[in-house]
């Protein structure tokens, strides 16, 4: 089946034979994995009935009903401890991903891996991963339709490097000197420099406070760029 480059990248990080897709929408990720013979069992979960009905239709059309089950519910709440080994939580805000993990902590910690792809607040998600006693063992970036997507696989264990640069930009990406991340860093640096210049000219106490925040962000970008040779 034909799915987006982003969803292919998400599916590509799944290593377990059983998985739950949280916010499954039309069921594309589990269907793709089933078609590729990468999974034996999947739970396609969604909060909304409409997308879940569409997922059911797609599952039936592929003849995958023996392997993929749909469940209505919020986050990981429809999943029981020990049912699956992997969970995909992608295509939603970072703070929502954090909430999903925290409200189903027992289920989350019982999993062998999480595949996460937050749309923003990546630092909050990475911090939550670390706080849960998980580590990011692989991270990739995809650029599609002019947008940048971070996708990371988390496994039980201790993160080997907890620095501001790895928190905001991803230690595995920095280790690989990922070219798409470099592009994102360069773009962000230019944006922050432009804002900083305007704040320097303002000279108000409020501008000075904001400038200090921007300069902190620029320092983290500089730390991240130092990984590139």
Q: How far apart are CA 226 and CA 229, in angstroms?
A: 7
pLDDT score recorded for residue 164: 97
The per-residue pLDDT string of the chain (229 residues; one tens digit each, 9 = 90 and over) reads 889 999 999 999 999 999 999 999 899 999 999 999 999 999 999 999 999 999 999 999 999 999 999 999 999 999 999 999 999 999 999 999 999 999 999 999 999 999 999 999 999 999 999 999 999 999 999 999 999 999 999 999 999 889 999 999 999 999 999 999 999 999 999 999 999 999 999 889 999 999 999 999 999 999 999 999 8
Q: How far apart are CA 77 and CA 175, in angstroms?
A: 35
Phi, psi (deg, nearest 5) at residue 69: -110, 135
Q: How far apart are CA 146 and CA 70, in angstroms?
A: 32
Which residue segments constitute the domains of the chain, with CATH numbers given? 5-159 (3.40.50.150), 161-229 (1.10.287.1890)
Q: Which residue has the tokens 């289920």?
A: 107
Q: What is the 3-state secondary structure (H, E, C) of the chain?
A: CCCCHHHHHHHHCCCCCEEEEECCCCCHHHHHHHHCCCCCEEEEEECCHHHHHHHHHHHHHHCCCCCEEEEECCCCCCCCCCCCCEEEEEEECHHHHHHHHHHCHHHHHHCCEEEEEECCCHHHHHHHHHHCCEEEEEEEEEEECCEEEEEEEEEECCCCCCCHHHHHHCHHHHHHCCHHHHHHHHHHHHHHHHHHHHHHHHCCHHHHHHHHHHHHHHHHHHHHHCCCC
pLDDT score recorded for residue 206: 93
- What is the pairing mode between strands 86-92 and 147-156? unpaired
Q: How far apart are CA 106 and CA 46, in angstroms?
A: 20
Q: Which residue has the tokens 């997922």?
A: 55
Phi, psi (deg, nearest 5) at residue 216: -65, -45
pLDDT score recorded for residue 203: 82
pLDDT score recorded for residue 160: 87
């Amino acid at each position: 089946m034909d799915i987006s480059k982003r969803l292919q990248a998400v599916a590509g990080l799944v290593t377990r034979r059983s998985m739950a897709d949280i916010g499954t929408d039309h069921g594309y990720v589990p269907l793709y994995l089933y078609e590729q013979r990468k999974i034996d069992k999947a739970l396609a979960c969604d909060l909304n009935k409409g997308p879940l009905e569409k997922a059911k239709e797609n599952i039936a059309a592929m003849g995958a009903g023996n392997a993929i089950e749909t469940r209505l519910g919020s986050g990981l709440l429809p999943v029981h401890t020990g049912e699956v080994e992997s969970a995909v939580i992608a295509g939603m805000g970072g703070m929502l991903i954090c909430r999903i993990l925290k409200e189903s902590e027992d289920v989350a910690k019982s999993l062998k891996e999480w595949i996460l792809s937050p749309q923003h607040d990546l630092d909050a998600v990475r911090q939550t991963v670390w706080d849960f006693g998980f580590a990011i063992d692989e991270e990739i970036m995809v650029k599609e339709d002019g947008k940048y997507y971070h996708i990371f696989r988390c496994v039980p264990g201790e993160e080997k490097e907890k620095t501001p640069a790895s928190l905001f930009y991803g230690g595995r990406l920095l280790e690989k000197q990922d070219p798409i991340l470099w592009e994102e860093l360069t773009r962000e640096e230019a944006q922050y420099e432009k804002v900083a210049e305007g704040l320097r000219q303002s000279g108000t106490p409020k501008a000075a406070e904001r400038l200090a925040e921007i300069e902190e962000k620029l320092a983290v970008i500089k730390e991240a760029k130092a990984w590139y040779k």
